[in-house]
Structure 1
Amino acid sequence: MSYDYRWTLINNTVIHPTPLYIFCGGGSRRLGRDKALIELDGETLLERQVRRAFPFFDQIILLSGSNHYDTPNRQIPDVLGNAGPLSGLLAALKDAELHHQQIAVIPVDVPFLADSTMKILSEYTLSENTDAATLCAGEVVQPLAGLYKCNISANLQQWIDGGQRMVMKFLEQLHLEHIRVMENELRNINFPGDVEKFIRM
């Protein structure tokens, strides 16, 4: 596979810009349909996230699970079935680890991230002793929005193979930073009435 985008050379190693992976979510029991295809202001949540991320990321890849979306963006399925978001994260880490030191991730159902936050995710470099940095607002932590080092993939694989599925519990195993954002940025779409409520706000 060829890569045609900006890169830097550090210690004679080619370092590519951080790619963005979007958790597409799939079917939602509470919403009764695929979150990615819910419309907000005339576009689907997936279209909105891709459009808003486009100015900041050279690569935007969809963690599509078992679904396939009508979009030119590259899509990768979960590595394992029935492992929840951790399976998508593992798929992203394995996809990126050959050419990247870290990845950025956002969920499709958090559609109000500020441009400044997108910029931070695209430019922020995790320190040598940090495994991940997640977005937070007050006491609210969004583990599916942030940055992850690609070299944690083996630990995550072992965690999943051991039957673990909880994202927050996995984060407790990592050297973690938080990127603080405004509280309204982490509003997410969980229930049918959320779309109408957020449009009115």
Structure 2
Amino acid sequence: MNETTGIILAGGQSSRMGRDKALLPLPGEQRLTFVSHLATLLSSTCQDVLLVARDQDQANLYLPYLPSSVHLITDATPHIGPLMGLYSGLRAMTTAYAVVTAVDMPFVQPALLELLVAQARADTIIMPMVGGVPQVLLALYPRSVLPLIEQRLQEGRRDPRSLLQLAQVLPLEEAQLRTVDPQLRSFVNVNTPEELSFYT
């Protein structure tokens, strides 16, 4: 077991879906929810797993769906966005690195997680690139970037992508990603009822 924490960002409003995406049934395995599936998946790769909820009410909703080993935390300041979720998760963990995923990415492949963990290096974000776009919500972050996140939050930024302008980044290009996830299913977001129906 490596010294990496798994962080699930689940603090969004799910406005386009119309219901909480964390509690959606997993396509092909209806008895599981997105959040329970991802928690179990990360537990098999990471030393610890943290789930970052928006506030305590949201955290209480998720509790029955999580393995007892998963730690539930809430955003340091609610309603700021995913950069705050990333900050809250990195601040709460005790390892040097975190594999971070959004809760609406139900098709993350174990081999992709292992690839991210294997690339870990000091003070460097390991950033998958798909179609030339950094996949900031499925990447490996060192805890050492916390001061840079604090700087961005103080500047009023809410988007994790803004962090890439300050941090040291190692991009993982599509060709390398496809060696472990040929169809890049790991990077599929399910944001709307139509997308959920398509994959179900």
Please tell me the TM-score bracket, short chain as reference.
0.7 to 0.9
- 1:125 is matched with which residue? 120
The one-letter code matched in structure 1 to 2:136 is P
Tell me if structure 1 keeps the 8 A contact 2:3–2:96: no
**Closer/same/farther in 2, CA of residues 23 and 17 from structure 1, 3 Å limit:** same
The one-letter code matched in structure 1 to 2:46 is F
- 1:37 is matched with which residue? 23
- 2:42 is matched with which residue? 53
Q: Using the TM superposition, give the Cα deviation of residue 89 of structure 1 relative to its aligned residue in structure 2, in angstroms.
A: 0.8
Tell me if structure 2 keeps the 8 A contact 1:35–1:109: yes
Matches of 1:38 and 1:25, distance apart in 2: 15
RMSD (CA atoms): 1.8
% identical equivalent positions: 24
- 1:27 is matched with which residue? 13
- 1:116 is matched with which residue? 111
Query: Is 83-92 or 181-190 further displaced after alignment?
Result: 181-190
Deviations 1:6-65 (A, max 9, x none): 6xxxxxxxxx70111111144311011111001122111001112222221221110112
The one-letter code matched in structure 1 to 2:52 is L
Matches of 1:100 and 1:48, distance apart in 2: 22
Picking from 163, 166, 191, the partner of 2:159 is 166
**Quick check: which has more Rg, 1 or 2?**
1
Deviations 1:55-95 (A, max 9, x none): 21221110112111122221111112232001111111211
- 2:146 is matched with which residue? 153
- TM-score after normalising by structure 2: 0.82
Matches of 1:25 and 1:179, distance apart in 2: 26
Query: Is 37-46 or 178-187 further displaced after alignment?
Result: 178-187
- 2:52 is matched with which residue? 63
Matches of 2:133 and 2:186, distance apart in 1: 11
Matches of 2:159 and 2:44, distance apart in 1: 32
For 1:91-110, list aligned pairs within 5 A.
Answer: 91-96=88-93, 99-110=94-105
Structure 1 unaligned regions, length at least 5: 1-5, 7-15
- TM-score after normalising by structure 1: 0.82
Q: Using the TM superposition, give the Cα deviation of residue 164 of structure 1 relative to its aligned residue in structure 2, in angstroms.
A: 1.5
Structure 2 unaligned regions, length at least 5: 179-183
Matches of 1:33 and 1:140, distance apart in 2: 27
